[in-house]
Every structure is written in C-alpha cells, then in structure tokens.
Amino acid sequence: EGLPQTISADLGVPTVHRTVTDYANFDHGATTPALLQVADAVTKVQRRYGSVHRGAGYASRVTTGWFEAARAEVADFVGARADDQVVFTRNTTDALRLLAHCVPQDAQVFAWESAHHAAVLPWPGSRTTRLPVPTSTPHAAQLLREALQHSPSTTNLVVITGACNVTGEIWPVAELVAVAQEFGARTVLDAAQYAPHVALDIAALGVDWVAFSGHKLYAPYGAGVLAGRTDWLDAADPYLPAGGATARVHRDHTQWHRGPARHEGGTPNAVGAVAIAAACATLRSNRTTIAAHEAQLYARLHAGLAAIPGVRILAALGDRPNVGVVTFTVDGYEPSLVSQVLADEHAIAVRDGRFCAHLLCDAIAGDDATAIRASLGLATTGEHVDRLVSAVRRLVEHGPALSYVHTGDGWSA
Ligand code: PMP
C-alpha cells in the first residue's frame, strides 16, 4: 500500500509491489510478486465465483468458463499440441509427482543429480537412474546417451531442467531432447525457472511434458501446471481419487474420467488457475521487453560481482545463457552472514543455502558448502543491481558495519 511505483510499471509489465527506493528483491527465483494483471484477474474471480463444474447457477457457469479458459490460455503459453492435456496442480513439485504417479510400471527414469529435488526425488527409486552433475553441454548429452544405451527398459523418461535454480544456467533442452528421441525416450521439462524468462514451445522442442509453478510466474501460491501427452495420464489411476475424477461409481467398480479431470479430484483451485492464465498472457505478450530488461541487468550484476576480489560465482555447465541468477560465495564470510548483512544494512533480499539442490551444491560449491543466490526479475532495477554490487564490495573491503553474533537460528546484529 502506498509504495512508490516500480520499474516494472515503466516496462509496461507492472507488479503489485516492490519499491524502487527502499527494498531490492533479488529472490525472484524463489517466488515472484504478482503482476497487476494477475491481481486484477484474482479480484474479478473473488467477487463472483461459484463452484467449478458442479453447479447450474450463474456464478458456477461463469467460474467454470473462467477455469476452462485458463486451461486454454496455459495450453497456448506452453505451445501444446492439439491432443495434449493441461492439468492444474498445486505447484511444480506436485506436477512432477503427478507425472511420477503416471509413469508406466516398466519405465526407467533418468534424472541428473544437478536438478532441483522436486525433479530428482519423486520417481520410483528402483527404476530411476541418477546421472552425475555434468560439467558442460556435451558432457550432459554424453551422460544421457551412455545411460540410455544401457537402459534396462524400452520405455524411458528423461527429466530435463529448463533453467537451473542454483546457477540460472539455461540447459541445452533441444540437444538433450534430441538424444532422448534417438532412443525413443519421453522427456519432461522442469520449467519452474525457465517459464518466467524464456518462451516455451513444447511442440517445437519435442518435449512430452512440462511442469511449472504459478508463484514463480508472477501469480500467487497454490497453483501449478503439468501439461503434455495424454496417453500416460489417461492410462494411470487417478492421482486424487475423488469427486470430479469420477464418471460413475458403482458398488463393485468405478469409472474414471479421462482428460484433466481424471487427475484433478476435489474442487479445483479456480482462482489459482485464472491467476496463472493471466500471468501467462501477460508474459507472452511482453517477452521481448522482459528479456531485454533481464539480460541487461544480468550482465551488469554478473560483471559487477565478478570484479570483486574473493567473490566466486558458481556454474555447472559454464557455457550457457542465463535466466538472471548469480549465485556466489565471498571468501572469509559464511553465506548466511552475507545475506544477513545485505538484508540488515542494505535492504537487499537474497537467499542463502543449498537451494533444494544439495547434490549440485556439493559438486560446484564444495561438499556441504552453501552459497548466496541473487535472482532478478521484473521488480529489479539498475539501482538494485548497483546497490548489491557495492554492498558486497563494501563487505569485502571493510567488513560488516554492524557487529553480528551467531545465534541458534542465524545471525543477529
Ligand atoms: N524445480 C525448480 C527448478 C525450482 O526452482 C523449484 C522451486 N525452487 C521447483 C522445481 C519446485 O517448485 P515448487 O516449490 O513451486 O513446487
């Protein structure tokens, strides 16, 4: 309330909050502020909603229309094929878990250890091959090819990260899909970090499924998406066996719906679906502006931090474009202290830790090491970038301005 206008308003893609002057949000990789268009769409739904697919009343029919229109918008956003499905889930974690639930019994799953835990952990352990953290694009492709050559199954699924949540590196999706397709393997793209920054086209990429979260796409919490091929989804038991998923329940058997309803048991999150759709529409029509804004800020941030002695920037593949994330360490300072100093002394929000990707951090930061992540987005300004760079420089040159003691749950000044 009453906060100054944001830079994102100048871009024509305004978000509901984040100030230019007093608070620098470098935590877009975790969660993004809502777009104004999203907030407006949510308000519209909140004022009129009725039950979805469950009522004959006016509000119910209108809400059902909104919900299905949201599905169609998301299908366009991901570049879905005509016979693909869009299933609304809670978030990326839930979307990947839903796909894991639908993977055929005899399938083998391939996932790099560098992925977010949500993409590494949901698959059945005995039928999952973990690929080690690759060190370059050709190495990633080579690891996949060798693993697929030795697959014990003819039904295979490869889990590909669109953009890394730790390093921001955009993965070589097209190259990896090509390798998967050589072996007739299916692919799923974890687009949690990719979709907010890069245009998606799963049909053109040849990706079979894509998963992402609303709350990283400038929409609120509680809604996500799994979109893609129908066959595995329709062949599986319902993810949430409940009302909405049932066509008819008999004493001795149940007929389940096919299509998205099969896995959307229970009353759906229509507000979340409409919010995601509003975000998809806004991002889709502003991709070029957003990409230019982010590329320019990323270059400034990366160059600024890289020039500070004792700052080490982390990368895995090393030769990739980036969605606007710089994760780094500062010699002589624990990452948790660096982020505390940035918050207390400079009103800068970053994240420190291992970012739900422990195996990747072990590989690129060192065993058990943590790091500091600065992830930019629509609410980031050039002033924010300069403030972060000079704050880190100041810390390196002069130490913290306040004196900090380590307490049980962090640092206090
Ligand atoms: N995959 C990636 C690459 C992510 O960055 C995240 C969120 N940090 C997830 C999956 C999980 O998303 P959510 O917490 O919204 O389920």
Tell me, what CATH number does 226's domain have?
3.40.640.10
Q: What is the ipTM of this complex?
A: 0.99
- Does 93 sit in the ligand 1 pocket, CB within 6 Å? yes
In this structure, are 236 and 379 located in the same domain? no
Q: Is the pLDDT of residue 2 over 60?
A: no
pTM: 0.95
In this structure, are 245 and 391 located in the same domain? no
State how many domains the chain has.
2
Question: What is d(CA 262, CA 205) in angstroms, rounded to the nearest whole number?
Answer: 26
- Does 190 sit in the ligand 1 pocket, CB within 6 Å? yes
- Nearest residue (by CA) to ligand 1, atom 5, is 165
In this structure, are 402 and 370 located in the same domain? yes
Between strands 24-25 and 108-112, the pairing is unpaired
Q: Which of 7-11, 318-322, 342-346, 347-351 has the lowest mean pLDDT?
A: 7-11
In this structure, are 16 and 116 located in the same domain? no
- Does 193 sit in the ligand 1 pocket, CB within 6 Å? yes
Q: What is the pLDDT of residue 16?
A: 62
Q: What are phi and psi of 401, to 5 degrees?
A: -75, -35
For Cα atoms 400, 30, 100, give the angle at the middle one, nearest 5 degrees.
Answer: 140
Q: Is the pLDDT of residue 7 over 80?
A: no
- Does 114 sit in the ligand 1 pocket, CB within 6 Å? no
- Going from the Cα of 346 to the center of ligand 1, the distance in angstroms, rounded, reads 27
Residue 390 lies in a domain: yes
Q: Is the pLDDT of residue 228 over 50?
A: yes
In this structure, are 148 and 223 located in the same domain? yes
In this structure, are 393 and 305 located in the same domain? yes
Supply the mean pLDDT for the chain.
Answer: 94
Q: What are phi and psi of 204, to 5 degrees?
A: -70, -35
Q: What is the pLDDT of residue 354?
A: 94
198: its two tokens: 């890069």
Across 119-133, average pLDDT: 95
Residue 226 lies in a domain: yes
Residue 204 lies in a domain: yes
The pLDDT-based confidence of 125 (bands split at 50, 70, 90) is confident
- Nearest residue (by CA) to ligand 1, atom 8, is 30
Answer with the one of 215, 233, 266 that is the final residue of a domain.
Answer: 266
Q: What is the pLDDT of residue 96?
A: 98
**pLDDT of 158-199, one tens digit each?**
999 999 999 999 999 999 999 999 999 999 999 999 999 999
**pLDDT of 286-295, one tens digit each?**
999 999 999 9
- Going from the Cα of 234 to the center of ligand 1, the distance in angstroms, rounded, reads 25
Q: Is the pLDDT of residue 3 over 70?
A: no
- Going from the Cα of 147 to the center of ligand 1, the distance in angstroms, rounded, reads 25
- Nearest residue (by CA) to ligand 1, atom 12, is 92
What element of type H or E holds 85? strand 85-89
Residue 140 lies in a domain: yes
Q: Which residues are catalytic?
A: 356
**pLDDT of 334-383, one tens digit each?**
999 999 999 999 999 999 999 999 999 999 999 999 999 999 999 898 99
In this structure, are 94 and 169 located in the same domain? yes
- Going from the Cα of 309 to the center of ligand 1, the distance in angstroms, rounded, reads 32
What secondary structure does DSSP assign to 110-166, as a single string?
Answer: EEETTS-HHHHSSS-GGGEEEEPPPSSHHHHHHHHHHHHHT-S-S-EEEEEESB-TT
- Domain residue limits at 376: 7-30+287-412
Q: What is the pLDDT of residue 20?
A: 46
In this structure, are 183 and 109 located in the same domain? yes
Q: Is the pLDDT of residue 27 over 90?
A: yes
Residue 257 lies in a domain: yes
- Does 147 sit in the ligand 1 pocket, CB within 6 Å? no
Residue 292 lies in a domain: yes
- Going from the Cα of 212 to the center of ligand 1, the distance in angstroms, rounded, reads 8
- Nearest residue (by CA) to ligand 1, atom 6, is 192
In this structure, are 258 and 173 located in the same domain? yes
Q: Which atom of ligand 1 is nearest to the CA of 161?
A: 3
The CATH number of the domain holding residue 311 is: 3.90.1150.10
Q: What is the pLDDT of residue 5?
A: 42
Q: Which atom of ligand 1 is nearest to the CA of 90?
A: 16
- Going from the Cα of 216 to the center of ligand 1, the distance in angstroms, rounded, reads 8
In this structure, are 232 and 343 located in the same domain? no
Question: What is d(CA 171, CA 38) in angstroms, rounded to the nearest whole number?
Answer: 29
Residue 271 lies in a domain: no
- Look up residue 82 and give its DSSP letter: T
Q: What is the pLDDT of residue 158?
A: 98
- Does 223 sit in the ligand 1 pocket, CB within 6 Å? no
Q: Which atom of ligand 1 is nearest to the CA of 213?
A: 15
Question: What is d(CA 34, CA 41) in angstroms, rounded to the nearest whole number?
Answer: 11
In this structure, are 105 and 231 located in the same domain? yes
Residue 311 lies in a domain: yes
In this structure, are 113 and 222 located in the same domain? yes
- Does 118 sit in the ligand 1 pocket, CB within 6 Å? yes
- Look up residue 280 and give its DSSP letter: H
